[in-house]
Amino acid sequence: MRRAFVYLATILSLVLVSFRSDLLGRNLASAMATKVIFTPAGTPISHNDLQRVEYLLQPTLAGTDVRSATRAHLLLGLVWDRAGNRQRAMDEWRLADSASLWEDLSSLAWSQGKSDDAIEFRKQAIAVAPSHLGNYFMLAWLYWPGTGRVDESIKVYSETAALAAPGSFERYLAEGYLFRLQQNWAQALDRFEQALRIKPTRVDVHRLAAYVAGRSETYSLAIDHLKQAINLSPLDSCIDVDLGDIYRDVGQYAEASTWYSRAARIYPKNCAADPGHASLGRLYFEQRLFAKAASEYRAAITLNPTNKDYHCRLAQAYERGGRISEALGEYLRTLELDATDLDAKQSLMRLLHH
Query: For 248-299, how does the pLDDT look when each residue is reduced to its tens digit (9 = 90+)?
Result: 999 999 999 999 999 988 865 555 555 789 999 999 999 999 999 999 999 9
**What is the per-residue pLDDT for 239?**
94
**What is the per-residue pLDDT for 56?**
74
Report residue 114's pLDDT band, with 50, 70 and 90 as the boundaries.
confident
Lowest mean pLDDT: which of 38-47, 122-131, 144-153, 175-184?
A: 38-47
Lowest mean pLDDT: which of 77-91, 102-116, 282-296?
A: 77-91
pLDDT, average across residues 194-209 = 98
- Counting residues of the chain whose pLDDT is more than 90, the rounded percentage is 59
> In this predicted model, what pLDDT tens digit does every residue of 335-354 receive, in sequence order?
999 999 999 999 999 998 87
**Taking the CA of residue 161 as centre, how many other CA atoms within 13 Å lie in the half-sphere pointing to its CB?**
16
pLDDT, average across residues 11-20 = 44
Residue boundaries of the structural domains of the chain: 1-97, 100-163, 306-354
**What is the per-residue pLDDT for 20?**
40
**What is the per-residue pLDDT for 21?**
43
**What is the per-residue pLDDT for 18?**
41
Residue 86 reports pLDDT greater than 90: no
Taking the C-alpha atoms of residue 323 and residue 314, their distance in angstroms, rounded to an integer, is: 11
Taking the C-alpha atoms of residue 95 and residue 72, their distance in angstroms, rounded to an integer, is: 10
Residue 312 reports pLDDT greater than 90: yes
Residue 3 reports pLDDT greater than 80: no
Report residue 202's pLDDT band, with 50, 70 and 90 as the boundaries.
very high
**Domain 100-163 adopts which CATH fold?**
1.25.40
**What is the per-residue pLDDT for 61?**
76
pTM of the predicted structure, to 2 decimals: 0.74
Q: Which amino acid is at 269?
A: K
Mean pLDDT of the chain: 86
Lowest mean pLDDT: which of 46-60, 150-164, 220-234?
A: 46-60
Q: Which residues contact 97 (CB under 8 A, 6 or more apart)?
A: 70, 128, 129
**What is the per-residue pLDDT for 215?**
96
